[in-house]
């Protein structure tokens, strides 16, 4: 399996449309709509419901940590990354569609959380193979801008779908909701969103499955290992990676830290907006739309800059910008301050996410992208408890929600410090013909 030598724009667009479609799960199901519906409506707003959500998401993270490296390795070995992406995407869509059955009744809380957890696992495993396909649609000289374009499409897809959901299914205070006038009884208007989100992901995943070719199959392996054999090979590969290319392992560790901080920003952002800065509950969704716009612009700009200066410099600058904005948010108050400095903070989230992906893609040997992105998913999940735990610890110690921001700053700073000594990947020359010196 070899990297692409030319960029075919229709393939790049088809690949990026999957990111656009995946916003149906990440923005709608997991972040803004169904997690809130399950805890506040089905679970009657009880603390036990929020705790149950945490347990469900945590269990999903544990399963992902176990499966991701093997899934990526086997996709490399079989040359079926697109097939793996399609299968796990279908599982995600099925889980989202199943949420339509979750009624406004406490008896449906755990079934709903189970579907959300299954969707989380499937979406993350689909992302492993999808990320590995980045090398198929870009060249060494364009991988940064292609990755940034994909992240931007994901943010923009979230923007459009959130607006559709808000104005079509949620807005208003009467017995019916949104422009469609759907009844609120038994949570029908929110449950209908599940079907819309599932259809959205299906439609925008099809171009990748139809227009991006599968990687050439490697020579048949008569001793193709099972799950146990795959883990044995995985540990052997880790040992070899530690022996021959420790900086790749160092990057996996550093990125696990700062990516956990990035995830926490979105997880607790709405809580802080309402509880600390006085943003109205309806306006939180609008802030989410604005945040996606800003993050998308940052991802595009960061991707183009990365092809010139390298991913490490973009990530470092992004982390410094996020830490600075978070420090300001520790001391300011009021909705206007949150809008300004909150958007400044998320401006740097897109470049950090996109360049983290391309940093690893630049390091991966052809044919081993799935393996490395499986490790990328696993290491990211291995410390996924850290930022939320520190957020809760600081809130408890200082008896103030605002203090939780300091916990996130600690994790971002730890990731930044761990990244500094990591050797950056080499860049091709401007024509994409060969590497330049490491940055």
CA-nearest of 303, 341, 260, 322 to 152 is 303
Alpha helices of 310-348 — where are they, by DSSP H?
311-331, 335-347
Listed in sequence order, the residues at least 6 apart from 93 whose beta carbon sits closer than 8 Å to its beta carbon are: 198, 201, 202, 205
Other C-beta atoms lying within 10 Å of the C-beta of residue 162 = 22
Question: Could you give all domains of the chain from N- to C-terminal order, each with its CATH number?
Answer: 9-213+235-419 (1.20.1250.20)
Q: Whole-angstrom Cα distance, residue 165 to residue 179? A: 10
Other C-beta atoms lying within 10 Å of the C-beta of residue 333 = 12
Q: Whole-angstrom Cα distance, residue 228 to residue 240? A: 19
- pTM here? 0.74
Take residue 124 and report the two structure tokens written for it: 């993350």
Q: Whole-angstrom Cα distance, residue 136 to residue 12? A: 9
Listed in sequence order, the residues at least 6 apart from 314 whose beta carbon sits closer than 8 Å to its beta carbon are: 144, 302, 305, 306, 351, 352, 355
Q: Whole-angstrom Cα distance, residue 295 to residue 291? A: 6
For residue 77, the SS3 value is helix
Q: Whole-angstrom Cα distance, residue 355 to residue 301? A: 11
Q: Which DSSP helix (H) or strand (E) runs through 125?
A: helix 109-132
For residue 384, the SS3 value is coil
Q: Whole-angstrom Cα distance, residue 423 to residue 438? A: 7
Q: Whole-angstrom Cα distance, residue 125 to residue 69? A: 9
DSSP lists the bridge partners of residue 23 as none
Q: Whole-angstrom Cα distance, residue 294 to residue 64? A: 29
CA 272-150-315 angle, to 5 degrees, is 60
Sign of the Cα pseudo-torsion (138, 144, 145, 150, in order): positive
pLDDT tens over the chain, length 439 residues: 444 445 578 889 999 999 999 999 988 888 778 877 887 788 886 767 766 776 777 678 778 777 776 776 666 666 678 888 999 999 999 999 999 999 999 999 999 999 998 998 899 889 888 887 887 887 777 777 888 788 789 888 988 998 998 889 888 778 888 889 999 899 899 899 999 999 999 999 999 999 888 776 655 554 555 566 667 766 777 787 788 778 888 888 898 899 888 877 876 676 677 667 887 656 777 887 888 888 888 888 888 888 888 889 999 999 999 999 999 999 998 999 999 999 999 899 889 988 888 888 787 766 666 667 767 766 666 676 677 777 777 877 887 778 888 988 999 999 999 999 988 877 654 444 444 433 3
CA torsion, ordered 311, 312, 315, 321, to nearest 10 deg = -130
Sign of the Cα pseudo-torsion (397, 398, 400, 402, in order): negative
Q: Whole-angstrom Cα distance, residue 306 to residue 148? A: 9
Listed in sequence order, the residues at least 6 apart from 160 whose beta carbon sits closer than 8 Å to its beta carbon are: none
């Amino acid at each position: 399996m070899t990297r692409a030598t030319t960029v075919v724009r229709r393939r790049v667009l088809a690949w990026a449309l999957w990111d656009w479609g995946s916003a149906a799960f990440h923005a709608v199901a997991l972040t803004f709509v169904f997690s809130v519906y399950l805890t506040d409506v089905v679970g009657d707003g009880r603390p036990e419901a929020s705790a149950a959500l945490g347990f469900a998401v945590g269990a999903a993270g544990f399963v992902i940590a176990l499966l991701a490296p093997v899934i990526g390795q086997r996709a490399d070995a079989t040359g079926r990354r697109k097939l793996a992406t399609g299968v796990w995407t279908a599982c995600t869509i099925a889980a989202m569609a199943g949420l339509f059955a979750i009624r406004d009744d406490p008896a449906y809380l755990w079934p709903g959380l189970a579907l959300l957890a299954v969707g989380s696992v499937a979406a993350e495993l689909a992302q492993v193979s999808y990320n590995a396909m980045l090398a198929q649609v870009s060249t060494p000289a364009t991988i940064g801008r292609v990755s940034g374009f994909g992240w931007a499409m994901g943010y923009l897809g979230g923007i459009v779908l959130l607006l559709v959901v808000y104005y079509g299914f949620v807005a208003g205070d009467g017995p019916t909701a949104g422009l469609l006038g759907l009844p609120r009884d038994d949570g029908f208007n929110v449950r209908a969103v599940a079907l819309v989100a599932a259809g959205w992901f299906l439609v925008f995943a099809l171009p990748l499955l139809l227009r991006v070719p599968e990687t050439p199959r490697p020579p048949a392996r008569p001793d193709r290992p099972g799950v146990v054999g795959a883990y044995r090979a995985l540990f052997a590969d880790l040992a070899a990676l530690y022996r021959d290319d420790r900086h790749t392992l160092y990057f996996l560790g550093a990125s696990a830290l700062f990516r956990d901080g990035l995830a926490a920003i979105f997880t607790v952002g709405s809580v802080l907006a309402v509880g600390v800065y006085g943003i109205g509950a309806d306006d939180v969704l609008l802030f989410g739309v604005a945040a996606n716009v800003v993050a998308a612009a940052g991802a595009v700009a960061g991707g183009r800059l990365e092809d010139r200066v390298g991913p490490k410099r973009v990530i470092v600058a992004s982390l410094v910008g996020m830490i600075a904005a978070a420090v300001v948010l520790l001391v300011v108050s009021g909705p206007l301050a949150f809008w300004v400095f909150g958007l400044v903070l998320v401006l740097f989230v897109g470049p950090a996410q996109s360049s983290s992906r391309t940093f690893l893609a630049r390091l991966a040997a052809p044919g081993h992208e799935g393996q490395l992105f499986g490790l990328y998913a696993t290491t990211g999940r291995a410390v996924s408890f850290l930022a939320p735990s520190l957020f809760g610890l600081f809130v408890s110690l200082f008896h103030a929600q605002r203090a939780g921001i300091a916990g996130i700053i600690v994790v971002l700073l730890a990731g930044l410090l761990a990244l500094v000594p990591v050797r950056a990947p080499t860049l091709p020359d401007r024509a994409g013909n060969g590497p330049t010196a490491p940055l």
